[in-house]
Amino acid sequence: MPKSNRKVIISCAVTGAIHTPSMSPHLPVTPEQIIADSLAAAEAGATILHLHARDPENGRPTQDPDAFRAFLPQLKQATGAVLNLTTGGSPHMSVEERMRPAAELKPEVASLNMGSMNFGLYPMLNRFKKFQHDWECQHLENSRDLVFKNTFADIEHILKTGNANGTRFEFECYDTSHLYNLAHFVDRGLVKAPFLVQTVFGLLGGIGAHPEDVSHMKRTADRLFGDDYIWSVLGAGRNQMAVAAQAAAQGGNIRVGLEDSLWISPGKLAQSNADQVRKARELLAGLSLEVATPDEARDMLELKG
């Protein structure tokens, strides 16, 4: 397809496991909120919905498959968007716990973290000082001594389970070494083209969000994977739209959503996931780029549908 006709996949990561309810009243946590926010994001143009679940009582991340069952059927029934279930869960969880929803519910797409690193959430303690629930403060505080653990054995286990279920992956790469880890699994035949590489920028513990960092990850992925991969980017926090703009202009796809940033502009909270999807759409329109429909993304990524 000529580059000028290419369509851009917008992923929307609806709630995640990093931000906590006290940080924004707009973060969806109950099944009803996750359904409403996801559907509005899809309506606004999100091609893929990246989904986590929360305990509706206190907003704490949970990988109980029943928590996903509380919203998945409604989403499947009401939208054609591609549904992508996390296997990252929260960095505080074991791999067995993290992979349960994808293993049991066999989605079209699941996320997969491609390596280990530090994961520093504690700087958020400076910005958000008041918490409704004890777990929120501990979640940030404990990250001073947290290893975000994704060993080769963990990755292989999730890959083999997903492959057996026909699930394809959003390969989350937080630094250059994670691209090399992915290349290792491509070499072993456990990852087949075309595959979606989600390069992640601006998390404390991973690569930064400078334009040189974005270019470096793209150059490295181009060299390792050639035409076999589909590139997407996620800029954390205030970096979200700048990273998206750079990547979109260079042939990439983009991820937005309240999982990755609570903001719509400096100091102003996004009112919904759809707000960020609309902003991403405007950015793409400014570059004369069209958004891929879910079925176009299914073709591009050879999903099971």
DSSP string, 165-179: HT-EEEEEE-SHHHH
Please say which residue, 28 or 88, places its beta carbon nearer to ligand KMH. 88
Q: How far apart are CA 254 and CA 46, in angstroms?
A: 10
88: which residues sit within 8 A by CB, 6+ positions away? 17, 98, 111, 112, 113, 172
Other CB atoms within 10 A of residue 83 CB: 23
Which of ligand KMH, Zn ion, none interacts with 172 (beta carbon under 5 to 8 A by kind)?
A: ligand KMH
Rounded least distance, CB 87 to ligand KMH, Å = 6
Among 38, 62, 79, 86, binds Zn ion (CB under 5 A): 86
Tokens 């369509």 -> residue = 7
Among 33, 111, 176, 239, binds ligand KMH (CB under 6 A): 111
Please say which residue, 18 or 300, places its beta carbon nearer to ligand KMH. 18
Subset of 161-180 contacting ligand KMH (CB under 6 A): 172
- Give the amino acid at 270: A
Question: Which positions from 61 to 100 touch ligand KMH by CB under 6 A, shown as an x/- string?
Answer: -------------------------xxx------------
For the chain, give the longest Cα–Cα distance: 53
Cis, peptide link before residue 2, omega less than 30° from 0: no
Question: Which positions from 21 to 40 touch ligand KMH by CB under 6 A, shown as an x/- string?
Answer: --------------------
Subset of 241-260 contacting ligand KMH (CB under 6 A): 259-260
Tokens 């270019």 -> residue = 215
User: CA angle, corner 37, sides to 165 and 299, nearest 5?
Assistant: 40
User: What secondary structure letter does DSSP report for 127?
Assistant: H
- 113 touching ligand KMH, by CB under 6 A: yes
Subset of 240-259 contacting Zn ion (CB under 5 A): none
- Residues near ligand KMH (CB under 6 A), total: 12
Subset of 127-156 contacting ligand KMH (CB under 6 A): none
Residue number with the smallest Cβ distance to ligand KMH: 88
- 87 touching Zn ion, by CB under 5 A: no
